[in-house]
Amino acid sequence: MAHLTRYYMYKKLKEYFKEPMDGKILGISGIKNFLPLISKKAEVLDVQYPEVDMQNLPYENNSFDFVISDQVIEHLENPQKAIQESYRVLKKGGYVIHTTCFMNYIHHCPRDFWRFSPEALIFLCNDFSEIVSCEGWGNRIAILLCFISDRLRFMHIPENKWSIRNLIGTWNEVRYPIVTWVIARK
């Protein structure tokens, strides 16, 4: 299961996809975390940033049913162009999922440019016909733990709801997002 800063986010994303994602799926960095949400019949193209530049996707218009980028857009010089590219390669009625960070230390991969509030993600996705969900997760205790040690950031969150780690990993203070995400439909 996902670690502290992503546990809640992946659980929430799963709530929006009651049926497994099917069709043609473009996953840009980190698709493995979405595999439980994807049908075994789906055609998954798993690419990595920076080898595939999300700002200039080498795919035809209207090619994919889903485009997923996991913790990528904060590393791009032009995140607006990347969002437009995900829109371009998405089929009509298809969905994008973009996850990113808000309160996070600088992490070069290869560079680190931006931080996104939920409102910023909505703004970046203004061409989409529908914002299905745009949220964030974090809390003051998790922020403190993350800044104390990377080991704490990557601690496993057990499913046991009575575990202190589970309580920290599921408690959400909307004013203190560590991660943010958007699901939008073309």
- What pLDDT is recorded for position 110? 87
DSSP readout, 106-172? ---SS-------HHHHHHHTTTSSEEEEEEEE--HHHHHHHHH-HHHHT-B--S-TTSHHHHHHH--
Q: Is the peptide bond before 110 cis (omega within 30 degrees of 0)?
A: yes
- What pLDDT is recorded for position 52? 96
- What pLDDT is recorded for position 18? 87
Q: pLDDT by residue (tens digit) across 133-163?
A: 999 999 999 999 999 998 898 999 999 999 9
Position 94 pLDDT exceeds 80: yes
Q: Which two tokens stand for residue 61?
A: 């218009």
Phi, psi of 137 (to 5 degrees): -140, 140
Position 107 pLDDT exceeds 60: yes
Q: pLDDT by residue (tens digit) across 28-83?
A: 998 999 999 999 999 999 999 999 999 999 999 999 999 999 999 999 999 999 99
Give the separation between CA 69 and CA 181, rounded to whole angstroms: 10
Contacts of 12 (CB under 8 A, 6+ apart): 133, 135, 137, 181
Give the separation between CA 77 and CA 112, rounded to whole angstroms: 9
- What pLDDT is recorded for position 1? 55
What's this model's pTM, rounded to 2 decimal places? 0.95
